A = this chain, B = another copy of it.
Amino acid sequence: MSIETTKPLRADAARNRQLVLKAALDTFASEGLGVPLDEIARRAGVGAGTIYRHFPTKDDLFRAVIGSLLADIVADGRAMLHEPEPGEALFRFLRLLILHWGADNQGLVDAFATVGLDWGSAGPVAEEEFLVLLGDLLRAAQDAGNARAEITPLEVKTLMIGCQAMQGYNAALAESVTEVVLNGMRPRSA
């Protein structure tokens, strides 16, 4: 293993790299991960070959985009832990993730729903961090008596993915069905 020697990019190369990342962010968000690379190239105003020089495969591009998104999301979640009422933070975070992030970003939904996608390994934030955050939020909620004790972080993630699927099926009902699911996480007698 040698040290990371990121050799300096030529000016146009660096510029195009940013154009591609920006276009990929927008395109994955609006069209989902299934979008053809040509469409991203078109929106970025570059050729398909240029994308492949910077990101050897489509997955690499996707990881770069989603990884940085996930970093923002985790940051939001961590901040919520330190607001008043940390026992409600889990529910606020899940609503934010499903109704705000998920509704505006099909690519993110696709990424969460795809099983066995090691999207963390190349992104700024590993998927593992997301699970740790969920665990922290969950524990805070459980300590406050707002969430059932037997629920695990992985179950919370699974429930969130289910809520995103519900939203994808019927966006108009997203809010109400999400509340049903969140209610199911609360203790029976609260």
Contact = CB atoms under 8 A, between A and B. Distances in A.
Contacts of A181: 159, 162, 180-181, 184
Contacts of A169: 113, 115, 158, 161-162
Interface in A155-169: 155, 158-159, 161-166, 168-169
Main secondary structure of the interface of A (DSSP, over half): helix
Contacts of A159: 166, 177, 180-181
Interface in A164-190: 164-166, 168-170, 173, 176-177, 179-185, 188, 190
A44 B184 CA distance: 44
A181 B155 CA distance: 11
Copies in the assembly, this chain: 2
A138 to B, nearest CB: 12
Contact of A158 (B151, B166, B185, B188): B166
A154 interface: yes
The 8 lowest CB-CB distance pairs between A and B, nearest first, are A184-B184, A165-B165, A162-B162, A162-B166, A183-B184, A180-B184, A158-B166, A161-B169
13 contacts: A113-B168, A150-B176, A154-B170, A154-B173, A155-B176, A158-B169, A159-B177, A159-B181, A161-B169, A162-B163, A162-B181, A182-B184, A183-B183
Given A154-B173, A162-B177, 19 more contacts: A113-B165, A113-B168, A113-B169, A115-B169, A151-B180, A154-B170, A155-B177, A158-B166, A158-B173, A159-B166, A161-B166, A161-B169, A162-B162, A162-B163, A162-B169, A179-B184, A181-B181, A184-B185, A188-B190
